[in-house]
Structure 1
Amino acid sequence: MRRDPLKRLNVGLLAVAFVLSLFAGRLVQLQTIESGKYTELALRQRLQDITLPAGRGDITDVQGNSLAMTVEARGIFADPYIIKPEKRQQIAGALAPILGKDPAEIIKVISRPNTRFQYLAHGVPPDQARVVTSLKFLGIGTLPEYRREYPNASLAAGVIGFVNGSGQGAAGLEYSMNSMLAGRDGWQRVEISPEGQHIPMGESQKKPPVPGRDLRLTLLRDLQFRAQEAIERKVRETGARSGSVVVMDPRNGQLLAMASAPGFDPNNYGKYPRATWGSPVVQEAYEPGSTGKVVTAAAVMEKGGVTRDTVFHVRDRIRKYDREFRDSHDHAPEDLTFAGVLAKSSNVGTIMASERISKETLYHYLREFGFGSKTGIGLPGETAGQLKPPDKWWGTDRYPIAFGQTLSVNALQMASVYATIANGGVRVAPTLLAGTTDENGTFTPAPAPQSKRVISGETAKELRDMLEGATGREGTAPGARIEGYRVAGKTGTAQIVNPRTGLYHEGRYTSSFTGFAPADDPQLVVQVVLQDPRKGGYYGGDVAAPVFKDVMTYALANRKIPPTGSKPPKVKIYARD
């Protein structure tokens, strides 16, 4: 017997009604109860966070000439979600030569799943970015960015440093002052359509970037150029491993030039050895040799009762315990004044004078002049040099320390020693930063450097007169003399230590000259160091003093410093004078 068709129809209608009620219930759930959740998920799919890079602060010399600057650039990005797999090879092949990248690297980026934003390159020049956009690849776009440029190429590169491919300072001031220069990036959250287009009226939030501060240095671009040119030329001529020049104003500690060779071009830093990226002016420690004798001279004149006219009977060698110390040249015994000891750079005479004070006193003055302490000018990798305390000195260590060996300094420390003498005995800490400028153009001067009296004004004046003898006829550096000006200074020639053995390299030297002018009214200090010159001599008076003369002559003219017109004092070299 067949079932009732009306009953079957009613059962079917009930089933359909039940299914429709389920759909209706789900629809109500989606549109009312869970509508916010799915709206949020949909929006999240369309929203993208974009970094708004902060403009990096410029670095200038004291006159506002640009040493490092930020220029307009573009970031190239990809939206892998909308790039079709069959287009990846074509896109990579076209973009690789424009961006200077491996096609495989680009394919890897644009093939990443579950992402809508990936950077392909940063800092692309605008003209190259226009080529990219002209290709009209779906899923490839550009964003405004900044790129670092160094308009003077290698000029002051050891001081300035460079910014790496990630936009971070990686050497020099770019590294040590990165947080101040970089500022703070902002961000923008924008709504992107499935086709990869920005929805103009869509959801948008924004946090503006904060630009970095500009750094104004104490360097003078033209003087820096002359100093760098002079030391590069001398390094080539002598076959030296490296060289450096420091120009400093002793009255305020300001560094006017910090040149070194060999250098590098920060626009293409990757093409140069990593060893050239730093500044040997602060990173390289060396034994100062005879330039360090001025500290011993200051100590014995302050505490040992020695004057410039104190006479010493000086032989060309002297034995202390089991060691013999010699002058640089053989000579008959001489009755030299202490001024003569300094002018002739006698190791033996310096040892004899140093015995008038204790080793603790000598150590105290070395520390007061800055030995064993970083200068703190803000460059990365600065060495404090080596100066052991007296209780760590071996029995005969005090003697080579007295004439500038068995301890080490960097070139800036040594320049600061002579700046202290030139400044009447007051040490002003070296400074490289003149101040900073914010995004509103407001300039904030750097704090005044610390100053401290190290020796009396009378001792400093006596030392200035004595150092003038080094550039006289009887001195070791007549090549440092400048027509019309009174010049004071000191040569240095020290053996180089082999760091592996702790012994001196045979026939390898650090050659240096440090001086100031005008000698009776010092306004400029110039320090020259050459490491391991192999041609044309190695004495400081022969290879370093001519560089001093070149740079100091230019600096005096550049700063419009006239001769004082005074006559140099009569300084006795020999007891018989």
Structure 2
Amino acid sequence: MNTRKAVQHRALWTLLFTAIFMVILVVRLVIIQVADASDLQSYARNIHVHKIILPAARGKIVDRNGSVLAMDVPTYQIVAAPKYVNHPAETAKILARYLPFSSTLLRKVLSDNSWYALLDRSVPASVAQKIQALNLTGISVVQSTGQEYPNGTLASQVIGMVGANGKGLAGIEYEDNSILSGHPGYWVVQTDAAGNPLPQWQEAYKAPQPGDTVQLTIDANIEADAQKWLKWGVKRAHALNGTVIVLNPHTGSVLALANWPNFNPNNYYSATPLQMTDYAVQDPVPPGSIFKPVTASAGLGLGLFTPNSMFDTVGYKIVDGVRIDDWNPVGWGWITLTRGLEVSSDQVFMDVALKVGVSEMYHYIKMFGFDHPSNVGLPGDSSGVWIPEQNVNAVDLATIGFGQGMAVTPMQMITADSTIPNHGTMMQPHIVKAILSPSGKVLKTFKPRVESRPDSVQVAKEIEHMMVLEATQGTGVPAQVPGYVIGGKTGTAQKIVNGRTSNTLFVSSYMGFGPVPHPKFIMLVMINRPIGKLFYGDQVSAPVWKHIASYMFKYWKIKPYAGPVNGSQPFVKTK
């Protein structure tokens, strides 16, 4: 009897414990399926569902004729699910053979125990195929895109480059990044136990929208020739660097913008700051005598002088007790303003500036656009360096008259001087011609825009006449192209070092336009810090100008028309 009661007692306790366990189990199931359901579902999605960003194909950069300067090419992303990588050190060592990262860095990433890590944003197909063939647990290959520059160093500072994050870092790639970059898409997929995407379990997909094409005003053929001869000129003069700008004076379109040294955007990691600097817009320098047409514009425009006004040159001028030497220490005696520009007399243009006065001189400086950046459409566009008008004394004004005592960018300078061959009207310089859709449809065009009218037509013609004579029988003779009439101006400026004018460091320039009487271009060749016997603008920059101009005349099929005197009797005569 006691035994029976003991069995019943044990059965009762067993039933009770079973009931309690079932209640606990039911409660737990309720908690899991109801109370914690949302959190657990989210946890499961974090493990097995991933949103993969699909980069948009970047827009192209093309020249004015449609030649491709930068384009999007297929590349691949290397993606990891570190939580599923069984042997991080071994896997890192294998991947280091194919990716531009050390095994130490890769091991650190793969040991993170996270669900997702982007190892490399852009690898070529050949590398992607090799990694795919390894079948590494937790490592996946996802197709993507990347930017390529088929012409290497051509116009590299203008075009710029794209960083590892897919964003433009310099040049047009940076300035117009929002136009070029497009809009990324995404791919939400489930993954297997190893973290590999399962396309058949795709949950959501949004296609990326490719970026638009930026068409430049640059002509790649002229750009290549300018770059070739600039390199020759810089090396010939043992100089630090240089730039060439070719501008259509009637529209403001930049036809070429070359810098030397330059770099290859496909391998920008190895470039130096000097190679990546766009000297044309980012590095203000004293312009020297190529500024003299601006001073002449002020003197003629205010009616204070005529092309035949006479000046007694003795090789120097005393201003407020300070002797300022001309580049020619003995002068030329009595000469006209026209002859003063031909031989580039500093004293003549000191006299002109002092007669014009500070207020009117600064008025013309502003009219010629020197009080603001060029706004050509490139990053780092500098506004130059000027003495505040209220602080300018007579010595400052005299030196400004012949292009010293301030610093301007080459782009500002060529824009100002382009007023002369455009009959007194200065156009806004621009380097972007149009924005095109991925299919080639024109979305936006950039039409020529007048910036200011610093000169009258008459004054512009008078100065054009002076510059033709400068090129035919003055300091610019080395820039002459046989059979064509050109106008031009040499420049040799002393650099400012630690606030003082250097007697050994120069900026050598030649500014010229042609063919006269209907110029199709104006070109500035500026070479910085030539070393040795060759340092004057006519020695260093004029020959470079001549070579590039010769190419353009042939390229545009402009036939020679000038006689043996090459236009010393110009078509445009002063009244």
Whether TM exceeds 0.5 here: the answer is: yes
Q: In structure 2, what is the Cα distance between the partners aligned to 1:197 and 1:239?
A: 57
| Matching residue of 1:388 | 387
- TM-fit CA distance, 1:95: 1.1
| Matching residue of 2:329 | 330
| Matching residue of 2:352 | 353
1:69 lines up with 2:71 in the alignment: yes
What is the CA deviation profile of residues 6-49 of structure 1, one whole-angstrom value per residue up to 9, with x for unaligned ones? 34433432332332233234335545665555444423431111
| Matching residue of 2:519 | 522
- Amino acid in the other structure paired with 2:209: V
Q: In structure 1, what is the Cα distance between the partners aligned to 2:101 and 2:35?
A: 50
1:535 lines up with 2:537 in the alignment: no
Q: In structure 2, what is the Cα distance between the partners aligned to 1:200 and 1:353?
A: 78
Closer, same or farther in 2 for the Cα pair 1:310/1:433, shift >3 Å?
same
Q: In structure 2, what is the Cα distance between the partners aligned to 1:32 and 1:460?
A: 86
Q: In structure 2, what is the Cα distance between the partners aligned to 1:241 and 1:35?
A: 69
- TM-fit CA distance, 1:564: 5.7
- Amino acid in the other structure paired with 1:202: W
1:471 lines up with 2:471 in the alignment: yes
CA contact (8 A) 1:46 1:193 kept: yes
Q: In structure 1, what is the Cα distance between the partners aligned to 2:240 and 2:41?
A: 68
Q: In structure 2, what is the Cα distance between the partners aligned to 1:53 and 1:171?
A: 20
| Matching residue of 2:573 | none
1:57 lines up with 2:59 in the alignment: yes
Match of residue 549, structure 1, among 546, 550, 563: 546
Q: In structure 2, what is the Cα distance between the partners aligned to 1:279 and 1:372?
A: 20
CA contact (8 A) 1:320 1:396 kept: yes
Match of residue 46, structure 1, among 23, 48, 68: 48
- TM-fit CA distance, 1:276: 1.6
What is the CA deviation profile of residues 366-386 of structure 1, one whole-angstrom value per residue up to 9, with x for unaligned ones? 111121321111212221111
Closer, same or farther in 2 for the Cα pair 1:565/1:49, shift >3 Å?
same
Closer, same or farther in 2 for the Cα pair 1:202/1:339, shift >3 Å?
same
| Matching residue of 2:191 | 192
Q: In structure 1, what is the Cα distance between the partners aligned to 2:535 and 2:150?
A: 35
Match of residue 82, structure 2, among 80, 83, 101: 80
Q: In structure 2, what is the Cα distance between the partners aligned to 1:63 and 1:71?
A: 21
1:480 lines up with 2:463 in the alignment: no
What is the CA deviation profile of residues 339-368 of structure 1, one whole-angstrom value per residue up to 9, with x for unaligned ones? 101111111112223343222111111111
- Amino acid in the other structure paired with 2:347: V
- TM-fit CA distance, 1:492: 0.6
CA contact (8 A) 2:77 2:118 kept: yes
CA contact (8 A) 1:312 1:338 kept: yes
| Matching residue of 2:437 | 438
CA contact (8 A) 2:247 2:522 kept: yes
CA contact (8 A) 1:243 1:530 kept: yes
Q: In structure 1, what is the Cα distance between the partners aligned to 2:263 and 2:103?
A: 30
SS of the equivalent of 1:396 reads helix
Moved more, 369-378 or 327-336: 327-336
Q: In structure 2, what is the Cα distance between the partners aligned to 1:234 and 1:442?
A: 40
1:10 lines up with 2:12 in the alignment: yes
RMSD: 2.0
Q: Which runs of 5+ in 1 are unaligned?
A: 572-577
- TM-fit CA distance, 1:482: 1.1
CA contact (8 A) 1:526 1:551 kept: no
- TM-fit CA distance, 1:333: 5.1
- TM-fit CA distance, 1:534: 0.9
Paired residues for 1:112-511 under 5 Å: 112-113=112-113, 115-202=114-201, 204-331=203-330, 334-451=333-450, 452-473=452-473, 475-498=474-497, 500=498, 502-511=499-508
What is the CA deviation profile of residues 68-95 of structure 1, one whole-angstrom value per residue up to 9, with x for unaligned ones? 11110001111112111xx222211211
- Amino acid in the other structure paired with 1:79: A
TM normalised by structure 1 equals 0.94
Q: In structure 2, what is the Cα distance between the partners aligned to 1:344 and 1:37?
A: 85
What is the CA deviation profile of residues 526-566 of structure 1, one whole-angstrom value per residue up to 9, with x for unaligned ones? 10111111134111111111111111111122223344659
SS of the equivalent of 1:527 reads strand
| Matching residue of 1:19 | 21
CA contact (8 A) 1:425 1:454 kept: yes
- TM-fit CA distance, 1:277: 0.9
- TM-fit CA distance, 1:413: 1.1
What is the CA deviation profile of residues 90-144 of structure 1, one whole-angstrom value per residue up to 9, with x for unaligned ones? 211211011132111111111112x221111121000111000111111111011
Closer, same or farther in 2 for the Cα pair 1:424/1:184, shift >3 Å?
same
CA contact (8 A) 1:464 1:520 kept: no
Closer, same or farther in 2 for the Cα pair 1:32/1:431, shift >3 Å?
closer
Q: Which runs of 5+ in 2 are unaligned?
A: 571-575
Moved more, 326-335 or 104-113: 326-335
Identity of aligned residues (%): 30
Q: In structure 2, what is the Cα distance between the partners aligned to 1:472 and 1:44?
A: 78
- TM-fit CA distance, 1:512: 0.5
What is the CA deviation profile of residues 367-422 of structure 1, one whole-angstrom value per residue up to 9, with x for unaligned ones? 11121321111212221111234211023211011111111111111111221111
Closer, same or farther in 2 for the Cα pair 1:318/1:49, shift >3 Å?
same
CA contact (8 A) 2:75 2:143 kept: yes
- TM-fit CA distance, 1:167: 2.0
- Amino acid in the other structure paired with 1:175: Y
- Amino acid in the other structure paired with 2:527: L
Closer, same or farther in 2 for the Cα pair 1:536/1:98, shift >3 Å?
same
- Amino acid in the other structure paired with 1:454: P
SS of the equivalent of 2:29 reads helix
Paired residues for 1:72-111 under 5 Å: 72-84=74-86, 87-111=87-111
Q: In structure 2, what is the Cα distance between the partners aligned to 1:199 and 1:542?
A: 68
CA contact (8 A) 1:237 1:535 kept: no
